[in-house]
């Protein structure tokens, strides 16, 4: 499949396509037109066509998209045809909540380890995954082919821990700590701020009635 330089905006929309197509598959829908998909997703049909054309397009004029094929192909573009091992660093409230969430595994994200500095957490397990000491982290990453580190530690500690990860084989950091990490280019950082989403909700409550694109 031909792949051009894809904009971040398109990449950010792909998981949403993937999710909607997954729902359609669950409902045994085999084929869908860009118009129908557009109505369901509340994006314009031309946006959908444009987005998918970045990857060579998947539909046929007047015939629509084959849901299973499109779902599989978008999954491949997103790298979901491979499994990705990850560790969670910081086994507090958020780290434990993420470790309990089984749906990551359905997408191929496999939690291999939990790490924390707090000696009181030593010996505890979440879903059968033991919480380990930080001094075991580097070897664990090496021995378990870990690609992703999830940072659920206080923001004051995030830079120091991220710097330590630079010397490992980690390819990506899913950063929940509210601080920007400046790392070499080979480590991809994806920041998550749930409160941003909450603030957007607050804005929309305050501006109710105005139509917003891509709802």
User: Which residues of this chain interact with ligand NAI, rule CB under 6 A?
Assistant: 89-95, 115-118, 134, 152-155, 157, 161, 176-178, 192-195
Strand residues in the chain grouped as ranges (E): 31-32, 65-66, 84-89, 109-116, 125-126, 129-133, 148-151, 172-175, 188-191
Q: Least separation, in Å, of the C-beta of 30 and ligand NAI?
A: 37
Beta strands at 188-191 and 172-175: parallel, antiparallel or unpaired = parallel
Sorted by sequence, the CB contacts under 8 Å of residue 53 that are 6+ apart come out as none
* Residue 130 to residue 63: CA distance in whole angstroms: 51
Per-residue CA distances from 181 to 144, 187, 192 (Å): 24, 10, 12
Kindly tell me which of 43 and 173 has the beta carbon lying closer to ligand NAI: 173
Smallest separation, CB 103 to ligand NAI (Å): 17
State the nearest-atom distance from the C-beta of 54 to ligand NAI, in Å. Answer: 29
Nearer to ligand NAI, 70 or 94 (CB): 94
Nearer to ligand NAI, 82 or 93 (CB): 93
The label of the residue with tokens 């009181």 reads 120
Q: How far is the CB of 39 from ligand NAI (least distance, A)?
A: 31
Residue nearest to ligand NAI (CB): 92
| Nearer of residues 46 and 197 to ligand NAI, judged by Cβ | 197
């Amino acid at each position: 499949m031909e792949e051009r330089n894809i904009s971040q905006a398109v990449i950010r929309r792909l998981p949403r396509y993937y999710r909607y197509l997954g729902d359609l598959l669950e409902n045994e829908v085999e084929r869908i037109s860009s118009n129908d998909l557009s109505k369901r997703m509340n994006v314009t049909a031309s946006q959908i066509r444009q987005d998918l054309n970045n990857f060579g397009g998947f539909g046929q004029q007047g015939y629509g998209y084959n849901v299973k094929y499109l779902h599989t192909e978008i999954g491949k573009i997103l790298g979901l045809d491979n499994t990705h091992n990850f560790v969670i660093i910081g086994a507090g409230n958020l780290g434990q909540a993420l470790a309990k969430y089984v749906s990551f595994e359905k997408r191929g994200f496999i939690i291999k380890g939990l790490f924390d500095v707090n000696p009181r957490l030593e010996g505890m397990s979440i879903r059968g995954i033991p919480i380990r000491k930080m001094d075991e982290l580097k070897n664990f990453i090496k021995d378990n082919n870990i690609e992703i580190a999830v940072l659920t530690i206080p923001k004051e500690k995030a830079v120091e821990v991220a710097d330590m990860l630079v010397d490992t084989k980690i390819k990506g950091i899913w950063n929940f700590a509210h601080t920007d990490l400046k790392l070499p280019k080979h480590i991809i950082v994806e920041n998550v701020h749930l409160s941003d989403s909450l603030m957007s909700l607050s804005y929309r409550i305050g501006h109710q009635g105005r139509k917003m694109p891509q709802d």
